[in-house]
Amino acid sequence: MLDFSQDKYSTKKANTEGVQYIFCDPATGEELFEDDDETKPVCAYLLGKDSKEYKAYISEIESKFRGKKAPVGSKAKQLGYDLLARCTLRFERVGLNGKEVESSHAGAVDFYKACDWAREQVDNFIVERANFLGR
Q: For each of the chain's 135 residues, which pLDDT tens digit applies?
A: 877 777 778 888 898 999 999 999 999 999 999 998 999 999 999 999 999 999 999 999 888 888 887 777 888 899 999 999 999 999 999 999 999 999 999 999 999 999 999 999 999 999 999 999 966
Q: For residue 128, give Cα distances in angstroms to 47, 79, 104, 131.
A: 11, 19, 23, 6
Domain boundaries, the chain: 7-131
CA 68, 74, 77, 81 dihedral sign is: negative
Q: Residues with Cβ < 8 Å from 98, sequence gap 6 or more?
A: none
